Amino acid sequence: MHHIYSNAELLAIKDFRIQERARGANARFEDKIVSLDILRALQRTNFKCFYCFDTLDKKSWQLDHFHARANGGKNNLFNLAPSCKWCNQMKNALDGNSFLVRCKRIFMANLTVDIPHPIIAKSTVSLQDFPIKDRSKKVKRNKKLSS
């Protein structure tokens, strides 16, 4: 059965270069996706980054695999995660769940050291900049200062 695209869907396919993204993913992997899979993934996230919820730029957004292909993730609709360039580069080959846990660590660390959340600010802060052991020291130091 063929899907009949609405005018809005056709416009999104053109604007978000969906066919180009499908060709790119299909060239690298044996399991194939179609434009409709990518469109559905974009609609599922309301055309926002799956990880940070920023509105996706029509030209620079990236098609991520929540469960990284490098770790056996599938190239199918249920594993597609539209993302901004920043989040996709930071996630790299991490599993999506692991990436979200690291983002939470950064968020919590940033709350204690009074700097902006890097996912919101799109800063160049690395995930490695805030290991858990350092965060606990900063929390203790901040508590001592406030006493």
Return the pLDDT at 61: 93
Residues of the chain with pLDDT under 50: 115-147
Return the pLDDT at 110: 66
Return the pLDDT at 115: 47
Verdict on whether the full-model pTM lies above 0.95: no
Return the pLDDT at 145: 44
Distance CA 29, CA 6 (A): 29
Could you tell me if 48 and 56 are in contact, meaning their C-beta atoms sit under 8 angstroms apart?
yes
Distance CA 98, CA 108 (A): 16
Return the pLDDT at 21: 87
DSSP for 23-57? HHHHHH-SS---HHHHHHHHHHTTTB-TTT-PBPP
Domains in the chain, ordered, with CATH? 7-93 (1.10.30), 97-146 (no CATH)
> Of all helices (H) and strands (E), which one includes residue 64?
strand 62-65
**pLDDT tens-digit map of 88-120:** 999 999 999 899 888 888 777 766 555 444 444
Return the pLDDT at 108: 73
DSSP for 102-146? HHHHHHHHHHHHT---HHHHT----GGGS-HHHHHHHHHHHHHHH
Closest CA to 49 of 82, 88, 24, 7: 82
